[in-house]
Chain A
């Protein structure tokens, strides 16, 4: 690996190229348009909170950007290249945390994170203990996860944020089941990640107090007004 994600990204990408860029991204599920022609440029240091009412497509957008579902039209660029052409680099620089924690209850936090480190390509096996300590699970490393509380389980999942060196974090409701102190720590972590040149895209019902926070309201990209004007979506695949 020639490119090391640890180095500050400004070093090789001029600030004029956003780290992540969305051009005219539209998403349709079963003939229902969730959002259309979404544009977004995320520069190193940006924390972008995606807002919108339930059902506006927040999770769908995050999952699409993480590459879990590919049902969107438009372009997603990573450092100026289409993600499909730099899929490997993109996947290496991506950390996604969804609604589901991705934790096996029969395994201990240590075993869970070991597998995660191998699958995500993170090389920092030795830092698992440190990460677990950071999220306040010191002493629980070997405890089977079914003995942990919901909040603690969530913390096991959040420990991933301390593990990898991914620059792009995509977090769907990261504050769920986390207590006040934990939330404050998480915000500090976000600020640090932004300072180091990372990008965070997140959804949350919580108001964040981060300096570099931007908002993206999905309501601005709703297709038309809901009644009276059915959009002509004919030929959506081929000719526009």
Chain B
């Protein structure tokens, strides 16, 4: 039975119709968590002893960085499922995950840089984490560029899935290498967000923000994927009927091409 469910996942239409009901819930949860987390983090959490209020950027920086990396794996796993089981939907998920992940990586880079100004006194510091993030950003860009480069969308999907998989093997190696490279050049590091050092009153809002970002990611991925489904399936009957229904409910006068056929 589990397998039947799994194979249904291969059907974009099933996915589109199922997720319709999730959207309002997910939107509500995301908004509530974001609002609660930001207000708590920005207004109620205590200021840091050394960094003052500037540390508060972690409430965006850290969740974005988490999701940037997790998003890469979500993208790569979708690609792998598409390659192995020859399903269409995972490719659509993969294609949608790439720009979201790249955007989050970019956000974490920018916030890291802004945070760096008061902390290190410079906009850009070749810190191990930031450098790794930058390389992750390049990996995202490569995948997106490869996907668009092919005339055939099927080929672009599969090629970028392979590249994403090669990237997953490489990411841990890259992270470890960059860490090692950093200790080599700067033995004394400024440790921030040390796992043990953060006080619970600062940590709880951070946790909420992390969960909020996960929800936001899920929401963004769903919306992107649904749009991608409609784009790719635009010539199928069910999409035509859907368009006809929606157009009909808005304005009865518009005749919909292809909608009345069959």
Contact = CB atoms under 8 A, between A and B. Distances in A.
| Whether chain A touches chain B in the assembled complex (some CB pair under 8 Å) | yes
Interface of A: 29-31, 71, 228-239
Contact of B11 (A29, A31, A71, A234): A234
A212 B262 CA distance: 42
A230 B236 contact: yes
13 contacts: A30-B153, A30-B154, A229-B261, A230-B240, A231-B237, A234-B12, A234-B13, A235-B11, A237-B10, A237-B11, A238-B7, A238-B8, A238-B10
Contacts of B8: 238
B233 interface: yes
A29 B261 CA distance: 24
| Most chain B CB neighbours (cut-off 10 Å) among A228, A230, A232, A233 | A230
Given A237-B88, A238-B11, A232 B154 contact: no
| Most chain B CB neighbours (cut-off 10 Å) among A30, A231, A237 | A237
Interface residues of B, number: 24
A72 to B, nearest CB: 10
Contact of A230 (B7, B11, B12, B237): B237
A64 to B, nearest CB: 13
Interface of B: 7-8, 10-14, 85-88, 152-154, 232-233, 235-238, 240, 258, 261-262
For the complex of A and B, the 8 pairs showing the least CB-CB separation, nearest first, are: A238-B7, A235-B11, A232-B237, A237-B10, A234-B13, A238-B10, A30-B153, A230-B237
A30 B152 contact: yes
A237 to B, nearest CB: 5
B236 A233 contact: yes
Q: A-side binding surface: helix, strand, loop or mixed? A: loop
B86 A237 contact: yes
A231 B261 CA distance: 11
A156 B13 CA distance: 50
B158 to A, nearest CB: 9
Contacts of B86: 237
A238 B88 CA distance: 10
A235 B13 contact: yes
B238 A232 contact: yes
A29 B240 CA distance: 20
Contacts of A233: 236
Nearest to B88: A237
B96 to A, nearest CB: 17
Nearest to B240: A230
Contacts of B14: 235
Contacts of A71: 154
B232 A31 contact: yes
A232 B86 CA distance: 19
Contacts of B85: 237
A233 B261 CA distance: 15
B260 to A, nearest CB: 10
Given A229-B262, A234-B13, A31 B7 contact: no
Contacts of B236: 230-234
B225 to A, nearest CB: 16
A235 B14 CA distance: 8
A125 to B, nearest CB: 35
